[in-house]
Every structure is written in C-alpha cells, then in structure tokens.
Amino acid sequence: MRLFVWLFRAFLFFALFAFALNNSQEVVVHWFFGRAWSAPLVIIVLIAFGFGCALGVLAMVPAWWHHRRAAARQVALDLPAAATPDPASAPIVRDGL
C-alpha cells in the first residue's frame, strides 16, 4: 500500500511540475488605481491557491474555538463524552466463528 501512495505522490509531483513548465508565460495582474504586477502564470496561480487555503483556515477558526470551549467545559464538569461507547455494552467479536 505504501508503494501505491508513493507512486501517487510522484505522479502528482511530476504532473504539477509539468503544469508549471507549460505555464511559464508572463502575466500582468492589474490592480486598482492603475497599479500592475507582472509575474509568471504559475506563480500567480500558486499565490491565489495559498490565499484561498489561508482564507479557508481563517473561516474555520470560530468553529474550532467553539468546539474547544465545549470540550473544556465538558472536561471541567467531568461529563463522559457523548460519542464514547460503553465497553461493557460492546458486542463480542470472535475471529473465525
């Protein structure tokens, strides 16, 4: 299984590398008030991807804080976790029977 994961990673790397080589043309990004920035297309795509990832993480922060507060409150009250099954009520599974 590890071999397949490494082969997939190698394929993904070489596909992205070929994408970068095929998109090395200069592109001009026009900003407000007459400002312009010139860079290779692949750099602009990577920057846009990075900003999108950062925006997605920032959008998730309030939910993370809410869950951390709820978990801390649950620990402070010493309540059992709702998703934790009781080991005594779990069915017995035997191999080969």
Q: Where are the domains of the chain?
A: 11-79
pLDDT for res 55: 96
pLDDT for res 82: 57
Kindly tell me the sign of the dihedral angle through the C-alpha atoms of 6, 14, 37, 29.
Answer: negative
pLDDT digits (tens, 9 = 90+) for 17-47: 898 888 888 999 999 999 999 999 888 888 9
Neighbours of 40 (CB within 10 A): 14
- C-alpha to C-alpha distance for 26 and 82, rounded to whole angstroms: 55
* Mean local confidence (pLDDT), 72-88: 68
**pTM (2 decimals)?**
0.57
